[in-house]
């Protein structure tokens, strides 16, 4: 007996409503038998020319369609908002939750039985997963894939990571502006996401570690023909998943999120994974907290990729990719179901490493402990994070005087002053860049080193902010300080000259003033007036949660799997 599918509520009725649903679809040339009760598969596409990372997804959608047709399904592609990380102002993160709303409501409103998420650029993957998790139909991911290695003057260069290095070299007078501009054209040589282990490649790696895609999805280059074959196989698999009723809530369990945390440490992944995993977990009902990220604290750094290492994603792919990493993690991985129906351990079966300098073994890691460190103290009572694998070891235990920038505009206007009263021991503090304050929590936490210090050869110093930083960035940077300054967190009360103590080993971030002085300052504090007073941005500011809760909107946490019963005709 043919299973009655969700799509039958749209295309299976022999009445006026069914007539309307089928007839309008037939104007695209679909024959009668496309509506015979087979699974209708939505292909949720974030393709856009304004999102260069995702510019290859139009082609991958065709591969998915081939697989769906082969398996006896009916593929229908639909667009959702696309978030171009390098193109959007004030920050793509402001719109991640809007994309999640778009995805959720599109899946719910249309007559589909399962969905393939096509994304890749930093916020598109988490935004799509958040939206799909809230509807909980069978779902699988195909990522854009990374760009080919950047090339300039005979060397490999990595998107983002080398931009920061080159920019500092220009400011120090060590690189000409002409060379800086020339490197621009060699950086991005193909379609795809950043080829460093930035947020896009991190999220693709974690999606694979969670079992929400087929094996090898994370690292295959965007222009590699094997990615098109993977898209085909994914289209075939989603039809089977509909028959097996494998939903996001079946795959994205607590064990899967713990595997993602462990994998993030092993690959030297982006700090942005924290806010994204917390938000996704909130949608599927997994009680994930900031403290859970301490699970990765003793996991060695295995992947020698920028910004924590020297290679790029293309090299990671050729060395064996995520299956090798999962194989190395071995029995440290939690048992968890995947979109293939079996256990995540199957993703490591037969994995062989072809370059041990790119993917290290547990016995010979790049660094012995690479997990993100969670910091707490009177400066971050709800938590902050730091990425030791991208930091200077000597600065992970540090005490110094603060120099405070009250806004990003204040920072940009003053950081290059010759008379800026800072030394290499100074701790730079940037306020007003959290979820509410910017708004959107931009990637400005890795503040450029003051020019006077750059010219002295300084390339790292402790920085503290309620902002995020790019997954391609590096440095001893304390991020996601919660509560943020705009929400009245202690960060708002820091003054230039205050002493701050950072201890990554102890997980502490302390403002070294008395409780009485802190209370006096708090009583006198007033929030800045809002930057936005209308539209989505206002709704965001009014409802966004703090970073330690994933910066989702408060009314979007959780899911709604109720069927749509009302007709529009």
* Residue 428 DSSP symbol: E
Picking from 252, 279, 306, the residue at the C-terminal end of a domain is 252
Query: What is the predicted pLDDT for the residue at 87?
Result: 95
Percent of the chain predicted with pLDDT > 70 = 99
> What's the structural domain count of the chain?
2
**Which of 52-56, 402-406, 468-472, 534-538 is predicted least confidently?**
468-472
Tokens of 221: 């280059």
Cα distances (Å, whole numbers) of residue 328 to 29, 126, 312, 356, 388: 49, 26, 19, 12, 21
Let me know if residue 52 belongs to a domain.
yes
pLDDT digits (tens, 9 = 90+) for 290-318: 999 999 888 999 999 999 999 999 999 99
Mean pLDDT of all residues belonging to the chain: 95
Residue 2: predicted pLDDT: 56
| Predicted confidence (pLDDT) at residue 165 exceeds the cutoff of 90 | no
Q: Which structure tokens are listed for 406?
A: 């009250």
Residue 468 lies in a domain: yes
Going 88 to 93 to 96 to 97, the CA torsion angle's sign is negative
For residue 552, give Cα distances in angstroms to 83, 96, 192, 271, 401.
16, 9, 27, 16, 34
- Spatial separation of the C-alpha atoms in residues 269 and 261, rounded to whole Å: 9
Q: What is the mean pLDDT of residues 200-224?
A: 98
**Residue 167: pLDDT over 80:** yes
Residue 124 maps to a domain: yes
Tokens of 343: 């256990």
Q: Which domain holds residue 89?
A: 38-149+189-252
**φ, ψ (nearest 5 deg) of residue 463:** -130, 140
Q: Are 452 and 489 in contact (CB under 8 A)?
A: no
Mean pLDDT of 384-390: 92
4 pLDDT higher than 70: yes
Say yes or no to pLDDT of 567 above 90: no
Residues 101 and 247 in one domain: yes
Note the helical H segments in 285-403: 313-319, 321-329
pLDDT at 566: 85
Q: Does the pLDDT at position 124 exceed 80?
A: yes
Does residue 98 share a domain with residue 244? yes
> What mean pLDDT is predicted for residues 265-286?
97
Answer with the one of 252, 279, 301 that is the final residue of a domain: 252
Q: How would you label 512-543 residue by residue, b for 16+ Cβ within 10 Å and e otherwise?
A: ebeeeebeeeeeeeeeeeebbeeeebebbbee
pLDDT in tens, 541-552: 999 999 999 999
194 in a domain, yes or no? yes
506: domain CATH number is 3.50.30.80
The candidate with the shortest Cα–Cα distance to 143, out of 380, 322, 292, is 322
Is residue 338 in some structural domain? no
**CA 313, 319, 323, 324 torsion-angle sign:** negative
Let me know whether 91 and 229 are in one domain. Answer: yes
In a domain, 308, yes or no: no
Find tokens 């290059």 and name the residue: 416
Do 214 and 237 form a contact (C-beta atoms < 8 A)? yes
* For residue 474, pLDDT beyond 90: no
Residue 565 has pLDDT above 90, yes or no: no
The mean pLDDT of 125-142, rounded to a whole number, is 98
Residues 239 and 92 in one domain: yes
The domain that holds 81 is classified in CATH as 3.40.50.2300
**Vertex 385: Cα angle to 384 and 388 (nearest 5):** 150
Token pair 């991005």 is found at 188
**240 and 380, same domain (yes or no):** no
Same domain for 239 and 381, yes or no, is no
Q: Does 503 reside within a domain?
A: yes
Residues 6+ apart with CB under 8 A from 80: 44, 45, 46, 99, 102, 103, 106, 128, 131
Question: Given pLDDT bands bounded at 50, 70 and 90, which one contains residue 1?
Answer: very low
| Helical H segments across 252-386, by residue range | 254-267, 272-284, 313-319, 321-329
The stretch 208-235 carries a mean pLDDT of 98
Classify residue 181: in a domain, yes or no. Answer: no
How does residue 450 score in pLDDT terms, banded at 50, 70 and 90? very high
- Which helix (H) or strand (E) element contains residue 430? strand 427-430
Residue after which a domain boundary falls, among 199, 222, 252: 252
More confident residue, 164 or 391: 391
């Amino acid at each position: 007996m043919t299973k009655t599918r969700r799509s039958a509520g749209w295309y299976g009725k022999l009445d006026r409503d069914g007539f309307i649903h089928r007839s309008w679809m037939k104007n695209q040339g679909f024959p009668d038998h496309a509506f015979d009760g087979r699974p209708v598969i939505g292909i949720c596409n974030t393709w856009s020319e304004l999102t260069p990372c995702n510019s290859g997804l139009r082609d991958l959608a065709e591969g998915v369609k081939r697989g769906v047709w082969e398996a006896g399904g009916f593929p229908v592609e639909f667009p959702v908002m696309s978030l171009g990380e390098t193109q959007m102002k004030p920050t793509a993160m402001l719109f991640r939750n809007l994309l999640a709303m778009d995805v959720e409501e599109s899946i719910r409103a249309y007559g589909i039985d399962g969905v393939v998420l096509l994304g890749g650029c930093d916020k598109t993957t988490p935004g799509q997963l958040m939206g799909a998790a809230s509807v909980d139909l069978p779902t699988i991911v195909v990522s854009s894939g990374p760009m080919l290695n950047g090339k300039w003057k005979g060397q490999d260069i990595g998107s983002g990571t080398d931009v920061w290095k080159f920019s500092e070299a220009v400011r120090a007078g060590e690189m000409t502006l002409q060379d800086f501009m020339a490197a621009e054209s060699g950086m991005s040589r193909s379609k795809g996401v950043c080829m460093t282990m930035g947020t896009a490649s991190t999220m693709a790696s974690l999606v694979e570690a969670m079992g929400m895609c087929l094996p090898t999805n994370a690292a295959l280059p965007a222009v590699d023909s094997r990615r098109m074959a993977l898209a085909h196989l994914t289209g075939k698999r989603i039809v089977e998943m509909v028959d097996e009723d494998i939903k996001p809530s079946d795959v994205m369990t607590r064990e899967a999120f713990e595997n993602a945390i462990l994998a993030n440490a092993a690959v030297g992944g982006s700090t942005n994974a924290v806010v994204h995993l917390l938000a996704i977990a909130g949608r599927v009902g997994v009680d994930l907290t900031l403290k859970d990220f301490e699970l990765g604290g003793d996991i060695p750094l295995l992947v020698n990729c920028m910004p924590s290492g020297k290679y790029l994603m293309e090299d990671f792919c050729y060395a064996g990719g995520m299956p090798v990493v999962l194989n190395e993690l071995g029995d440290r991985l939690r048992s968890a179901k995947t979109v293939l129906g079996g256990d995540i351990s199957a993703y490591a079966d037969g994995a062989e490493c072809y370059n041990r300098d790119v993917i290290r073994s547990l016995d010979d890691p790049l660094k012995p402990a690479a997990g993100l460190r969670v910091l707490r103290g009177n400066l971050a009572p709800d938590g902050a994070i730091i990425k030791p694998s991208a930091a200077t070891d000597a600065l992970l235990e540090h005490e110094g005087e603060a120099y405070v920038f009250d806004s990003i505009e204040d920072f940009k206007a003053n950081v290059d002053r010759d008379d800026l009263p800072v030394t290499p021991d100074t701790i730079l503090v940037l306020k007003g860049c959290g979820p509410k304050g910017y708004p959107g929590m931009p990637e400005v936490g890795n503040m450029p080193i003051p020019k006077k210090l750059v010219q002295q050869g300084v390339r790292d110093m402790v920085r503290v902010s309620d902002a995020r930083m790019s997954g391609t960035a590096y440095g001893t940077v304390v991020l996601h300080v919660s509560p943020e300054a705009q929400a009245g967190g202690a960060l708002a009360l820091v003054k230039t000259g205050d002493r701050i103590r950072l201890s990554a080993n102890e997980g502490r971030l302390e403002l070294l003033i008395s409780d009485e002085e802190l209370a006096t300052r708090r009583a006198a504090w007033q929030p800045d007036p809002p930057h936005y007073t209308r539209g989505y941005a206002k709704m965001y500011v009014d409802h966004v949660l703090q970073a330690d809760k994933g910066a989702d909107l408060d009314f979007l946490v959780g899911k709604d799997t109720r069927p749509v019963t009302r007709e529009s005709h």
